[in-house]
Chain A
């Protein structure tokens, strides 16, 4: 258990509105990740962070931005939500070995 919480757990929003999802970890892990999970596509990496203020793009980063101002928090922002961003979003962190990734409970986002 990597002590990961995600908020909100569920959100319904309208196309064009900004949305921010929060990931919080209590284990002081260096690496943090945002994935989205969609039927037929599995889990795909959006962005990741390798330290405070250090972030990089993943496989499906278009339309998303991230920020990490503290070790424990990693924020995912949809500047202007679209229906294609309806998905389940998972945050993950690595342990000290940097190989194993541990996932949070997820946020189900619906964009109408």
Chain B
């Protein structure tokens, strides 16, 4: 099935640093979603994007819907230890349809 290419696969950073990750696809999407997953739990929705070019923030998190509709970016500013986890992007073509997930970015933060 269709896959999203998410990079980097993992990051090990110092507390206080900024983080950037992205997802690219060979097909367009009309919705991009970003999730965070902690060990032993389900993914939690962080940010939803609905329009090409849209830039949306949620606290220290900022995500962008790429102009081509084939990519999306997530930035985390001033990372803290509780940012540790796996971040997933997901694309959706139509409302109600399945989500196509990226492979995830594992973030580790050194205090």
- Give the contacts of A27-56 with B (CB-CB under 8 A): 31, 33, 40-45, 48, 50
Contact of A58 among B90, B92, B98, B101 (CB under 8 A): B98
Does chain A have a CB within 8 A of B45? yes
* B45 contacts A102, C-beta separation under 8 Å: yes
Q: Which of B10-18, B36-44, B57-65, B71-79 contacts A (4 or more CB under 8 A)?
A: B36-44
* B1 contacts A103, C-beta separation under 8 Å: no
Q: How many A-B residue pairs have CB under 8 A?
A: 58
Instruction: Find chain A residues with CB under 8 A from B33 CB.
Output: 99-101
Instruction: Find chain A residues with CB under 8 A from B98 CB.
Output: 33, 45, 48, 58-59
**B contacts with A: majority SS:** loop
CA distance A22 to B25 in the complex (A): 33
Q: How far is the CB of A44 from chain B (nearest CB, A)?
A: 7
Q: How far is the CB of B9 from chain A (nearest CB, A)?
A: 10
| Interface size range of chain B in the complex | 20 to 34
List 15 additional contacts besides A42-B3, A106-B42; criterion CB under 8 Å.
A42-B101, A45-B98, A90-B42, A90-B43, A94-B96, A98-B95, A99-B92, A100-B33, A101-B33, A101-B45, A101-B99, A103-B42, A104-B42, A105-B41, A106-B41
Q: Provide a sorted-by-A list of 30 A–B residue pairs whose CB atoms are within 8 angstroms.
A: A4-B42, A31-B96, A40-B103, A41-B103, A42-B101, A42-B103, A42-B104, A43-B43, A43-B88, A43-B90, A43-B101, A45-B99, A48-B98, A58-B98, A59-B98, A90-B42, A90-B43, A94-B96, A98-B96, A99-B50, A100-B33, A100-B48, A101-B33, A101-B99, A103-B35, A103-B42, A103-B43, A103-B44, A105-B42, A106-B41
